[in-house]
Amino acid sequence: QKEVEQNSGPLSVPEGAIASLNCTYSDRVSQSFFWYRQYSGKSPELIMSIYSNGDKEDGRFTAQLNKASQYVSLLIRDSQPSDSATYLCAVNESPGRRALTFGSGTRLQVQP
Amino acid sequence: DAGVIQSPRHEVTEMGQEVTLRCKPISGHDYLFWYRQTMMRGLELLIYFNNNVPIDDSGMPEDRFSAKMPNASFSTLKIQPSEPRDSAVYFCASSFLAGGTSEQFFGPGTRLTVL
């Protein structure tokens, strides 16, 4: 069974610190990787996508992908209380199938 | 540009009743997805369409669930008869196949409560 695994948390970091969120996936042929942020009672919001090994930076967010280790992570620099949310890792397992498989999410708490 | 639109936002119904959820994807998007989110099972795919054609319905839990997409701007998810275990938040998402990406954009969701 194809799986996307995340630590449920909560991950608690002080304001201004770096938050590191991790995700592993089981299907080696996975092609595309996404991070969604979901505030309580709201819908998932796409914040990062990454398709090739290495780092991708967008503002305070950096996504890291290591296909050999089947590992993808999200770093949030200068964490703010407004970053407190659940972060969902999502994987597109093959280019022919557009659906995403989601992890259960990591809850991040940024302490002021 | 308007995002994905879903209606109703909240639905409370009694067991055995028919429930219809509606979705309008982002204009120009050619993929539409229906997801269900619960505390126990997380976010799981029910069905998705490409150019109004159902491609994968393997996530539809049973025959009580059906989905249609009569045109590029409208889709419905129907549950008949509804059961308390169907209580969840149902999300619709859409995407546009450009450069092989799979970025999906979610609607606000419909919170369904079956009593």
What is the rounded average pLDDT for all residues in chain B? 94
Count of CB atoms situated within 10 Å of the CB of A4: 23
**CA A47 distance to own-chain centroid:** 9
Tens of pLDDT, residues B19-39: 999 999 999 999 999 999 999
**CA B14 distance to own-chain centroid:** 20
Closest-CA residue of A relative to B102 is: A98
| Interval A73-100 mean pLDDT | 91
Angle B49-B54-B55 from CA coordinates, rounded to 5°? 85
Closest-CA residue of B relative to A102 is: B43
How far apart CA B115 and CA B113 sit, in angstroms, is: 6
| Interval A13-31 mean pLDDT | 92
Nearest CB neighbour to A43, from listed B56, B91, B102: B91
The token pair at B11 is 């639905």
